[in-house]
Amino acid sequence: MKKLIIVLIILYSGVSCVISQKATLPSFAEKYNSSVLGKNVFVFEPSMDMKEVQSLVDSVFKMQSGRGSEFSKNRFALLFKPGTYELDIKVEYYMQVLGLGNSPEDVIIKGAVRANTTHGNSVLTNFWRGVENLTILPTENSTMVWGVSQAAPLRRVYIKGNLQLFDKGYASGGYLADSKVEGTISSGPQQQWFTRNSDMGQWVGSNWNMMFVGVNGMPDGEWPEKPFTKIIKTPVIREKPWITAGNKGFNVMVPPIKYNSSGPGWLAGSETERIIPMKKFYIVREEYDDAVSINAALKKGKNLLITPGRYYLKESLKITRPNTLIMGIGLATLIPEAGNSAIEISDVDGVIVCGLTIDAGSMHSELLFQVGEPGSLKPHEKNPVFLYDIFFRVGGPALGSATSCLMINSNDVCIDHVWLWRADHGNGVGWDKNRGANGITVNGNNVTVYGLFNEHFQEYQTLWNGNNGRVYFYQSEMPYDPPTADAWKHDGVNGYASYKVSDKVTSHEAWGIGIYNVFYNAPVIVDNAIETPVALEGKIHHMIIFWLNGNKESIVRSIINGKGGSVSVSNRKAVMD
């Protein structure tokens, strides 16, 4: 979690959050439930009573709003069939708003779709929400306010106006992709942001680390005078699949892989490689599904649509069939119970997993999510595995621990937006409680990541062992809570680098690397924020480290391999090309 700037740090470490359930849904809510998609999925169409729809949307917001709802058990998805709606949609924790058209222009929200400050004086903990596949005509000052930090993506949105990436106070980290903003995007006090394959009328604002990949309308200015990293073309991407509603029911649209692209794909017209009817999905529901029933469906060759809820798994979900699609909606959450992982993907082609939150369980897991078995060797360049919007939590909602959250063993995997978080506040938080060594470990070759958010783990946040890896944008905080300097040493090295490329790697490249530190307990010393083989130092582009707050004797001595500036209470920021 990002708490920033120099003078403002909001610390919630050790706080136990009590969930308020005072707000309830209106008595008529059930008639808006989808019979196909189950509870807490509401499907709207323009012919409905908009006063009732507004009342229901407001009721969901009230249930999910405020500090006490950050670790709520509730999950909701609000789905809109094609047409125009006059609504004010306030988006809070565990709310996902989805248009059901073939194009974002098929669903128009006239009024507002917004995320605002609802507790405290900033949006530093405005997490776990999202908006996809619709057009927004903001009526208040022609501006959509999306004040968020991590795990709050905007995808496939068309904003016919301006976009403001903050509300009150400070914000730190966000994601925008496959979108068009006609007006001005204002970043204000937003400290870092990642934008991919979008059109922007104008970008105004700068702070620490703003990255644009395949974006039309990128701002003027170059690193380090301006904190902008600009990549003209996105080398390889498949946009995230989305749900549509037709006369014969729901379908899932799967776009094709594209190379060296820029701008949103939907502006060019048809972009569908596959249309998968809902009958080819197993609809996973919280009220009666578990690992046994879900694995049985996978063995029958079904794809999965995991509806809003929390799913406790006594065994891993095993994905062995090529081209299987696993889609979560409404921040659906998987929680392993028996020391198992949540998901294991075999070393096969074309699997897609998107829209899931994965929490470590109280019994320690070695891994939470694995792609490919150890030692996987097959090439998948023509049909890679794609992961989108996967959010990991070790502690926070409850006590949990895992050695590593995400391990990539397969080759050619593409990850598009992931947040790996060892909790610094909430429930079950402490150096000896929510144990977690690494956020992500990459053993496969040719792995690409767009938007890697990774923080607070107890060893390397990112450990990269495969060749030909590429990372576009990195946001990371070191752990807040090493109890002593000696507790965070290894092999004669002070501290652990956040970003570690192992000595055996011969090719690796990364752009827009931001690493920050807050050490509240001991005067911690860290030798390097980034470690790579010496031959690869020139392949890590646009690096920034920042001393935020904490023990005034703590120090990060270098940016990379003993080179670059140090940061401490007397010199808070260091930058390298």
Cα separation, 283 vs 172, whole angstroms:
35
Count the Cβ atoms, other than its own, within 10 Å of residue 2. Answer: 28
Cα separation, 294 vs 306, whole angstroms:
10
Query: Are the beta carbons of 318 and 298 closer than 8 angstroms?
Result: yes
Beta strands in 384-446 (DSSP E): 386-394, 402-408, 414-422, 438-442
Three-state helix/strand/coil letters over 509-558: EEEEEEEEEEECCCCCEECCCEECCHHHHHHEEEEEEEEEEECCCCEECC
Closest CA to 536 of 503, 577, 573, 575: 503
Instruction: Take residue 160 and report the two structure tokens written for it.
Output: 């016919």
Dihedral sign for Cα 230, 234, 238, 243, please. positive
Cα separation, 141 vs 50, whole angstroms:
23
φ and ψ of 468, to 5 deg: 60, 30
Element (DSSP H or E) covering residue 150 = none
Closest CA to 66 of 92, 90, 94: 92
Cα separation, 295 vs 261, whole angstroms:
36
For residue 35, give the 3-state DSSP assignment. Answer: coil
Strands laid side by side in the 242-246 sheet: 242-246, 249-254, 274-277
Q: State the catalytic residue, choosing from 477, 531, 537, 553.
A: 477
CA distances from 367 to 232, 333, 401 (A): 36, 16, 10
Cα separation, 137 vs 196, whole angstroms:
22
Cα separation, 288 vs 294, whole angstroms:
10
Tell me, yes or no, if 477 is annotated catalytic: yes
Instruction: Take residue 81 and report the two structure tokens written for it.
Output: 């069939």
Instruction: Report, as residue numbers or ranges, the catalytic residues.
Output: 477
